Amino acid sequence: MERDTSFLLTGIKFNKKRFAIDFARFKKKKQSNDDGSVDDLSYFKREHTEADKVAVSVSKKRKRKNASERVEGFNVFKGSSSLPVVTNEESDQEDNNQKKELNRQNERDLRLRKKYGINVSGNDVPSPLQSFAELSTRYGCDSYLLHNLVKLGFKEPTPIQRQAIPVLLSGRECFAKAPTGSGKTLAFVYPMLMKLKHASKDGIRAVILCHTRELATQTMRECKKMAKGSKFRIKLMTKELVRNADFAKVYCDILISTPRRLQLCISKKKKKIDLSRVEYLVLDESDKLFEHSLLEQTDSVVKACCNPSIIRSLFSATLPDFVEEVARTVMHDAVRVIVGDKNAASESIKQKLIFAGTEEGKLLALRQSFAESLNPPVLIFVQSIERAEALYEELKFDSIRVGVIHSNLSQEQRENVIDDFRAGKTWVLIATDVLGRGMDFKGVKCVINYDFPDCAASYIHRIGRSGRAGRIGEGITFYTEDDIPYLRNIANVMAASGCEVPSWLMDLPKKKWKKHYPRRESIATKPKDQEE
């Protein structure tokens, strides 16, 4: 992985004035639809929680004091001439009460974080959400957004949503790690929709960077579902847009793109894209975006988003130390949110290691496992395009509906393969790591690492295509002699995720893991001259 990332995210200055506007945005307002009617959102009907009562009482007292007022960690609105005079005694009493209430609030926050396995670091980290209802009571969320949560069937925030949403709504930068399939997309999209408030009349206001086109397309689709009922323009940076658009005329609230496509638009000689007004920038799968192959492109996007008040956030299911270093040193007053163990996979995935001996052994083991119990949809990962095609050739005559996807296919072919898999037309999808991260195929029951993953992070992301949103999943990893030196790293992930690991595995020597791409024997069982 590339380590020289110090130039990333630089040149951003902190602008305190912006928090005055943020505060005004957080103020409660009556929730109504475009037609003026108020939604029946019994789902989120306000039960006044202890946290709200404390917040209200503290805020009343604060208003009576002619002192600075704190909103989620920042000082705003210093002084006011129209406030009543309070005696010293009363003021001391109020100070004491306020301190007690804040202590109680802190204790409640700690309990809630402990309950949901949330770890935070940073100054004045905002309280986690107890329920989605607090989006409305604490932050004045528009009713259409609550309505969309009902339609999506989401009743409770997931742990990452409980903590990352208040952090972002407080105008804080954030780097977050939470298990695969735990709802990180909503955790960054909802605050964006709440803060953007009104549709853009001028330029591009928010950017979400995704490492692949497939993930960008999925994120756009999810974003549109979440923003339904608003006038926001949510756009995907397609090839056509890159080629033909006059970006001076592109109004867009949320732009979703891969770093490569956005970099092309930034470097255009004529009609280049202006990102200087972007208020929110999300780097999804951030550790991947900082890898050598994408670093330069990511960096040029980050630099082009030069609005001094920008709020940047990094999300992933894996957070290597070097990404933390970048985030800590360069982001301003960022909050770090970690859900669960740092090196763990999702706990809802049963993890298995199978010694297949040789390449031939892998194919036999795969066929045997399909013969015994094929529980579709199944995703199979291999390490290269050639191997993906070879495995497809082997399986396509096995009366299994099988598909294959890799980066040598055209965009249209890739989209069709994904659509077929989502629709259940194919049961087994063979993929390279192009599908290893971020993709949300809800029903995937089992992921098979036909080829051993190239690093522990790939392992966590690949098996994380199953067991999403609390469902049970299974991750099976074949290994051969070549992979044995790297087994211990996977064993560590398994142990951190609460799986039982045989002691001999934990006794294996630790190996510093760079990328593991061994030369493997061919998958094909037919001699080349007999292939069609």
Ligand X SMILES: Nc1ncnc2c1ncn2[C@@H]1O[C@H](COP(=O)(O)OP(=O)(O)OP(=O)(O)O)[C@@H](O)[C@H]1O
Contact residues for ligand X, defined by CB under 6 A: 154, 156-158, 161, 178, 180-186, 317, 438, 440, 442, 464, 468-469
Residue 169 has a CB neighbour count (10 Å cut-off) of 25
Residue listed under structure tokens 């993929």: 431
| CA 265 – CA 271 distance, rounded (Å) | 8
CB of 174 to ligand X, least distance (A): 14
Q: How far, in Å, CA of 221 to CA of 215, rounded? A: 10
- Residue 375 to residue 516: CA distance in whole angstroms: 29
Nearest to ligand X of 203, 467 (CB atom): 467
203 or 436, CB closer to ligand X? 436
Least Å from the CB of residue 216 to ligand X: 12
Cβ closer to ligand X: 22 or 284? 284
For residue 152, the minimal CB distance to ligand X (Å) is: 6
Q: What's at 158, amino acid-wise?
A: T
Minimal distance, residue 70 CB to ligand X, in Å: 29
Query: C-beta of 163: minimal distance to ligand X in Å?
Result: 13
Please identify, using beta-carbon distances, which residue of 222 and 415 lies nearer to ligand X.
222
Q: In the bound complex, what is the minimum distance in angstroms from residue 127's beta carbon to ligand X?
A: 18
Q: What gap in Å lies between CA 72 and CA 170, rounded to an integer?
A: 6
Convert 371-386 to b/e letters by CB count within 10 Å (16 or more is b). Answer: eeeeebbbbbbbbebe
Confirm if 28 and 140 have CB atoms less than 8 A apart: yes
Report which of 315, 343, 318, 331 is spatially closest to residue 161, judged by C-alpha positions.
315
187 vs 366 by CB, closer to ligand X: 187
CB of 277 to ligand X, least distance (A): 27
**Phi, psi values for residue 344, rounded to 5°:** -105, 155
Find out whether the peptide bond into 308 is cis, omega within 30 degrees of 0.
no
| Cβ-based neighbours of 519, under 8 Å, separated by 6 or more | none
Short-list 323, 286, 322, 290, CA closest to 208? 286
Q: Which is nearer to ligand X, 222 or 274 (CB)?
A: 222
Nearest CB to ligand X, comparing residues 38 and 469: 469
Shortest distance (Å) from residue 30 CB to ligand X: 25
Is the alpha carbon torsion for 112, 115, 118, 119 positive or negative? positive
Indicate the residue among 371 and 423 with the shorter CB distance to ligand X: 423
Identify the sign of the CA torsion 259, 242, 207, 229: negative
Which segments of 329-405 are extended strands (E)? 335-339, 349-357, 378-381, 402-405
Nearest to 25 by CA among 195, 148, 168: 195
Residue 205 CB, shortest distance to ligand X, in Å, is 21
| Closest to ligand X by CB, 287 or 440 | 440
**Residue 464: CB minimum distance to ligand X, A:** 5
Residue 50, Cβ density class (10 Å: 0-12 exposed, 13-18 middle, ≥19 buried): exposed
Q: Is the Cβ of residue 359 or residue 440 nearer to ligand X in the bound state?
A: 440
Cα separation of 128 and 160, whole Å?
A: 9
Nearer CB in complex with ligand X: 49/300: 49
Half-sphere exposure of 422 (CA within 13 A, CB side): 11
Q: What tokens were used for 269?
A: 């000689």
Distance between CA 436 and CA 420 in Å, rounded? 18
Q: Output 132 or 486, the one with its CB closest to ligand X.
A: 132
Minimum CB–partner distance for residue 113 and ligand X (Å): 17
- Closer Cβ to ligand X, 278 or 319, answer by number: 319
- Min CB(373)–ligand X separation in Å: 25
CA distance 524 to 390: 6
CB of 131 to ligand X, least distance (A): 11
- CA–chain centroid gap for 292, Å, is 20
Whichever of 263 and 316 has its CB closer to ligand X, that residue is 316
CB of 339 vs ligand X, minimal distance in Å = 9
How far apart CA 432 and CA 383 sit, in angstroms, is 6
SS3 of the chain: helix, strand, coil, percent, to 5: 40, 15, 45
